[in-house]
Amino acid sequence: MEKVRGFEIAKGFENEQINLPVRKTKYSAGYDVEAAEDCMIPAFKPGQAPTLIKTGVKAYMPEDEYLMLCNRSSNPKKKGLVLANSIGIVDSDYYENPDNDGHIMFAFYNVKAEDVQIKKGDCIGQAIFQKFYIVDHDVAEGQRQGGFGSTSK
């Protein structure tokens, strides 16, 4: 069977009992993504960097698609967790990049007054595959040079 789009275990997580993202219902748009390890997200303080939550997975897809990373609808109310970038975008050329093999991470802020504990296997977000389009006369020819946050490098 030819690979078109899907998830794989990222390098370094092969022996960590990582669950690949799955849809829970027939008409769900998003694949539920789990945390790869226990971690703590501190209560927000001005100037603090977001906490990156490892998933242990990477995604492959056609060149004209991207993977949109979205927060769970229950995270803000129940846990006080908001995505630092509102949504995450994983480009098709992020897969197997030399810096981190395409390992997907979610960047969270905790807006509650107390720290929030995330356990390995907790569902932290959703991933949705999307097609994108380019404009007439597009001239983008750059090549990805790194991993997380490297598009503009």
Could you read off the pLDDT of 56-73 as tens digits, one per residue?
999 999 999 999 999 999
> Do the domain assignments include residue 147?
no
Q: How many domains does the chain have?
A: 1
- Show the CA angle centred on residue 61, arms to residues 66 and 105, nearest 5°: 60
pLDDT band at 147 (very low <50, low <70, confident <90, very high): low
**According to the model, what pLDDT value does residue 143 have?**
72
The Cα–Cα gap between 87 and 107 comes to 9
Which domain does 13 fall in, by range? 6-131
Above 60 in pLDDT, residue 98?
yes
Distance separating alpha carbons of residues 94 and 111, to the nearest angstrom: 29
- The CATH number of the domain where 88 resides is what? 2.70.40.10
The predicted model gives 84-113 an average pLDDT of 96
Find the mean pLDDT for residues 99-114: 97
pLDDT above 80: residue 146: no
Is residue 153 a part of any domain in this protein? no
Q: Does 41 fall in a domain? A: yes
pLDDT at residue number 141? 82
Q: Give the C-alpha separation, 129 to 21, whole Å.
A: 12
What is the structure's pLDDT at 72?
96
Query: Whole-prediction pTM value?
Result: 0.89
Give the Cα-Cα-Cα angle 82, 107, 102 (nearest 5 degrees): 145
In a domain, 143, yes or no: no
Q: How confident is the model at residue 142 (pLDDT cuts 50, 70, 90)?
A: confident
* pLDDT of 148 strictly over 70: no
Give the per-residue pLDDT at 152.
Answer: 53
Please give the pLDDT value at position 140: 86
Answer yes or no: is 105 within a domain. yes
